[in-house]
Structure 1
Amino acid sequence: MSDEPSTFEEFVAARGPTLARSAYLLTGDRHLAEDLLQSALARALPRWSRIEDPEAYLRRVLFTEHVSWWRRRRRLTEVPLDDHDAPARGDGADEDVPRRLAVEAALRSLTPKQRAVLVLRFYEDLSEAEAATVLGVSVGTVKSQTHVALKRLRALAGVHPDLSLPERN
């Protein structure tokens, strides 16, 4: 296990970019994602030596903090008019702009908890039980939020041809 980061700084250097992508997927805004990640890291630093699984701890903080922000603010989110908030691409080319914009718009139509569940289940590839643990909810809540979110996305796929989702089995 010598490959695992031992200090806070090593952990942030090694896992920070992955956590930043998760934060971006939750917020849909690069600047809010940076704030969210910084807030989570600030909460972890004072108790770093007592945290058994830092990545799981920080994921949970990211998701719960994001939901808390949404509950406190309950305001309309700004929609960027240009692409300056999107994460940088390696080659600078984006051959599928309409699809990406349709997916981002569809994700913005979901509640923060629905977005969190989809990010955990399909981006982070967690099981229903793992996602429930991270969010501090029951497995049934994860199942129902996933069902409602995917139903909403499928309905939007009918309106936006660039947003194609696989059909249910």
Structure 2
Amino acid sequence: MSTAKPINVYSIPELNQALDEALPSIFARLNYERSYGLLDTKLYIGYSIAVVAGLSFFLDKKFERAEIVVYQKFLVGAYFVLSLMFWYFSRFIEKGTVYVGKKRDTKDEIYVKTKFENNEPLYLVELIQKKKGSNTKKELKAQLKVNKVFNESGYLQNEGLFKWFSEQHDVLITKKNE
């Protein structure tokens, strides 16, 4: 089984997007349900930044400068704080996580981080499994040569990708806690 349209296998951004978009269906087959907590938090912060900027613009258009200086100072401060929160969240909390899922039967969580480095066709995957209610976690770093899951025409071979992720997941499950 392959994706509906081929991609340019020499384009790292296209490879990254195609592989990242396949993750939810792969982990659904591994009995995980997607969790949107990180994405929701990032959206809330981003929307808050937009509301503050919009409110500042509205006040600037409707009132004279002398009337709103105090409010504008507050809004600029809020904008700065929210922007700092957004940066911190993206850099240190989310840290490149592209998929978060919860196991349906045990409620364990899995975090998947992916990237390409140095424009090489190696999909670098980091799987992190956390036990709900405890501080234990397991980590696994793996590399996937993209030519193993894409054919010559640029079609993603979903079964091959699922098999690879299934094998990595099994290795992660059998690892001892860190």
TM-score, normalized by length of structure 1? Answer: 0.27
Structure with the greater alpha carbon radius of gyration: 2
- Which structure has greater helix proportion? 1
- Which structure has greater strand proportion? 2
Higher relative contact order (CA 8 A, sep 6+): 2
